[in-house]
Homo-oligomer: A and B are copies of this chain.
Amino acid sequence: MKTVSEHRSFGGVQGVYSHTSEATGTEMTFGLFLPELAEDGPVPLLWYLSGLTCTHENAMVKAGAQAWAASEGIALIFPDTSPRGEGVADDEAYDLGQGAGFYVDATEDPWAEHYQMWDYVAEELPALIEGTFPVDPLRQGITGHSMGGHGALTLAMGLPGRFRSVSAFAPICNPSQSEWGRKQLTAYLGADEAAWAKHDATLMMKSRGFDGPMLIDTGTSDQFGDLLKTEALAEAIAVRRQSATLRLQKGYDHSYFFVSTFMEDHIGFHAEALYG
């Protein structure tokens, strides 16, 4: 593992690191924020999964999360959204290929060789982090934005017992019924929709739910609102009687101005679960 950079931030350290990933077969870069409290021993870890076109860097510099993570004593990890580099399959569209991994393990050519983002985020990166940094694997939460909200919800429901709490900002809620989903799931996983089910938060809510608290914020002025299919997940949450808070935030759009506004609430929400 290589240290790309480290900056003092809110009394802790915002680092960027890279490593050769077995899952993706590429060099992968991630950001990790350790609060000052981590100097005294392992702290809880909150995963932040980013959206389409993002790298590890966007949320790290734009979400304002370190302020609240520092005061709550929580570490933050910001993985990349796909494998990258020469020789890695890509597409001209912004929503397929590099920057758009959708947190799945691709089975179809040309994606299968490197696009193993579920494996990377669910298995390889946690093992690397837990062996290297003072974070407590028994106290993990997960959140994300847009495609990353989809990732947070599907990982939380797909890995029972792993995360104590899950939240999301403007998540893609029902990708198997959305233009933000059908194209990508077909490309990565093939046309058989049975393989998509574990990567659809609404279907996972119907079949499994989440054993812990859930918080979702989405803006009423989200310019991609029709693609998110928030209504499908809302219904599934209500049908299941899932412990959850779903908030439609008046006037907010899909940007990081929205994400940063509610970051304090989300980190407070996770802190309650991780320190409760």
Contact = CB atoms under 8 A, between A and B. Distances in A.
A7 B264 contact: no
A26 interface: no
Contacts of A62: 61-62
Interface in A209-263: 219, 221, 251-253, 255-258, 260-261
Contacts of A7: 253, 255, 257-258
A221 B8 CA distance: 9
B219 A257 contact: no
Interface stretch (A9-17, A100-108, A130-138): A9-17
A126 interface: no
Copies of this chain held together in the complex: 2
A256 B61 contact: yes
Contact of A219 (B8, B11, B67, B251): B8
Interface size classification for chain A? 20 to 34
Interface of A: 7-11, 14, 61-62, 64, 66-67, 219, 221, 251-253, 255-258, 260-261, 264
What 3 pairs across the A-B complex have the smallest Cβ distances? A7-B257, A9-B257, A8-B251
29 contacts: A7-B253, A7-B255, A7-B257, A7-B258, A8-B219, A8-B221, A8-B251, A8-B252, A8-B257, A8-B258, A8-B261, A9-B257, A9-B258, A9-B260, A9-B261, A10-B260, A14-B257, A61-B61, A61-B62, A61-B256, A62-B62, A64-B64, A64-B67, A64-B260, A66-B257, A66-B260, A66-B261, A67-B261, A67-B264
